[in-house]
Amino acid sequence: MAAAGGRFTAFGVYVKRALWLFSGFGGRLALPALAVALAIAALWWILLDRLHREERLLDLTAHEKTAVVARLVEEHAVSTFRRVDDLLLDLIANTERNRSMRLESRRAFEEGLVVGVRVYDPSGLLIMGGGRVTFQGSITDRDEFRVARDTAPRGLVVGVPYASSETQDLLIPASRRLENADGTFAGIAIADIPVESFARYYRVLGLPPDGAAALLRSDGVIIARSGGMSSGSGRSPADTELWQAIKRHPIGHIRMISPVDGVERITAFRSAPDYPAIAVVGESVETVFGPWRDNARLYIGWAVATTVVILLFVIAFIVELQWRRHTDRALRVRNRALAWSNDGIMIADATQPGMPIVYVNPALERLLGAPMSALMGAGALTALERATNDRAALQPLRDAIVVGRDARVELTRPGPVAHELAEGGPDGPKGARCLELSASPVRDHDNRLVSLIATVRDISEHKRVQGELAEARREADRANVAKSKFLAAASHDLRQPVQSLMLLMEVLTNRVGDGMTRNVLGTMERALGALKMLLDGLLDVSRLEAGAVVPEVEVFPLSEVMDRVAANSRSVAVQKGLILHIVPCSAHVRSDPMLLGRILQNLVENALRYTDKGRILIGCRRRGGTLRIEVWDTGIGIPADQQEDIFEEFVQVGNANRNRDQGLGLGLAVVRRLSAMLDHRVTVRSIPAEGSVFTVELPVADPPAAKPLPVPLAFRPAFATTVLVIEDDMIVREGLRVMLAEWGYTVLSAESCAEALDLANRGPVPDLIVADYRLRDGRTGTEAIREVRLALGRILPGILVTGDTAPARAQEAEAGNFRVMHKPVVAADLRRAVAESLEPLLRDRQTVA
Instruction: Output the DSSP codes for 567-617.
Output: HHHHHHHHHTT-EEEE-----EEEE-HHHHHHHHHHHHHHHHHT--SSEEE
Distance CA 304, CA 302 (A): 5
Q: Which uninterrupted H or E stretch holds 296?
A: helix 285-340
62 Cβ contact list (under 8 Å, min separation 6): 266, 283, 288
Asked if pLDDT for residue 45 goes beyond 90, the answer is yes
- Is residue 286 packed enough to be buried (19+ CB in 10 Å), middle (13-18) or exposed (0-12)? middle
Q: E strand or H helix at 795, and its extent? A: none
What mean pLDDT do residues 555-580 have?
A: 85
pLDDT, residue 502, reads 67
Specify the pLDDT at position 697: 93
Amino acid type, 422: A
One-letter amino acid for residue 120 of the chain: Y
Determine how many CB atoms are found less than 10 A away from the CB of residue 447.
7
Residue 99 has pLDDT above 60, yes or no: yes
Instruction: Give 840: exposed, middle or buried? Use CB within 10 Å, 0-12, 13-18, 19+.
Output: exposed
| Secondary element (H or E) of residue 128 | strand 126-131
Instruction: Select from 279, 243, 286, 241 the least CA-distant residue to 263.
Output: 286
Are β-strands 116-120 and 126-131 bridged in parallel, bridged antiparallel, or unpaired?
A: antiparallel
What is the residue type of 364? L
pLDDT tens-place string over residues 175-192: 988 888 888 888 898 888
Inter-residue contact 565 to 619 (CB < 8 Å): no
In this structure, how many other beta carbons lie within 10 angstroms of the beta carbon of residue 842? Answer: 17
Label residue 304 by pLDDT band (50, 70, 90). Answer: very high
pLDDT tier at 694 (50, 70, 90 boundaries)? very high
Q: Which of 219-223, 402-406, 464-468, 542-546 has the lowest mean pLDDT?
A: 542-546
Q: At what angle do helices 195-203 and 30-96 cross, to 10 degrees?
A: 140
Distances (CA, A) of 591 to 549, 554, 561, 597, 687: 14, 6, 11, 10, 30
Q: How far separated are the first and last CA of the chain, in Å rounded?
A: 127
Residue of higher predicted confidence among 675 and 429: 675
Average pLDDT, the chain: 79
Average pLDDT over residues 780-784: 88
Q: For the ranges 27-31, 597-601, 607-611, 737-741, which has the lowest average pLDDT?
A: 27-31
Domains in the chain with CATH codes: 59-207 (3.30.450.20), 344-416+430-458 (3.30.450.20), 461-512+713-849 (3.40.50.2300), 549-701 (3.30.565.10)
Q: Please tell me the predicted confidence (pLDDT) of residue 361.
A: 79
| CA distance linking residue 221 with residue 277, whole number of Å | 10
* Contact between residue 186 and residue 121 where contact means Cβ atoms under 8 Å apart: yes
Q: Is the pLDDT of residue 710 over 50?
A: no
User: How far lies 671's CA from each of 228, 631, 646, 687, 705, in Å?
Assistant: 110, 13, 11, 21, 30
The residue-averaged pLDDT of 514-518 equals 69
Q: Which amino acid is at 680?
A: H
Sign of CA dihedral 188, 191, 194, 198: negative
Averaged pLDDT, 77-98: 83
Q: From the centroid of its chain, how far is CA 727?
A: 70
3-state helix, strand, coil in the chain (%, to 5): 50, 20, 30
pLDDT at 493 over 70: no
pLDDT greater than 90 at residue 446: no
Q: Looking at residues 749-778, what average pLDDT do you find?
A: 86
Nearest to 66 by CA among 292, 279, 293: 279
**Statement: residue 798 has pLDDT above 80:** yes
pLDDT above 80 (res 514): no
* Neighbouring-strand partners of residue 212: 282
- Cβ-based neighbour number of residue 471 at 10 Å: 10
- Per-residue CA distances from 2 to 6, 9, 338, 538 (Å): 6, 10, 59, 91
Is residue 28 pLDDT above 90, yes or no? no
pLDDT at 712 (0 to 100): 47
CA distance 752 to 771: 10
CA distances to 182, 357, 376 from 379, in Å: 138, 6, 8
Question: Residue 806 pLDDT > 70, yes or no?
Answer: no
**Phi and psi, residue 339, nearest 5°:** -65, -35
The predicted model gives 416-424 an average pLDDT of 45
Query: What pLDDT band is residue 826 in, cutting at 50, 70 and 90?
Result: confident
Residue with the bigger pLDDT between 626 and 492: it is 626
CA-based nearest residue to 636, from 601, 660, 611, 670: 611
DSSP annotation string for 178-244 = EE-TTS-EEEEEEEEEEHHHHHHHHHTT---TT-EEEEEETTS-EEEETT-STTTTT---TTSHHHH
What amino acid is encoded at 287 in this protein? T
What is the rounded average pLDDT of the residues 760-789? 86
Q: Which DSSP category does 766 fall into?
A: P
Percent of the chain exceeding pLDDT 90 equals 7
Answer yes or no: is pLDDT of 291 > 80.
Answer: yes
Specify whether the CB–CB gap between 684 and 695 falls below 8 A: yes
Compute the average pLDDT of residues 510-520: 68
- Interatomic CA distance for residues 628 and 666, integer angstroms: 23
Q: What is the pLDDT of residues 431-442, one digit of tens each?
A: 577 888 788 888
Q: What percent of the chain has pLDDT over 70?
A: 79
Question: Taking a C-beta distance cutoff of 8 angstroms, is the pair 512, 521 a contact?
Answer: yes
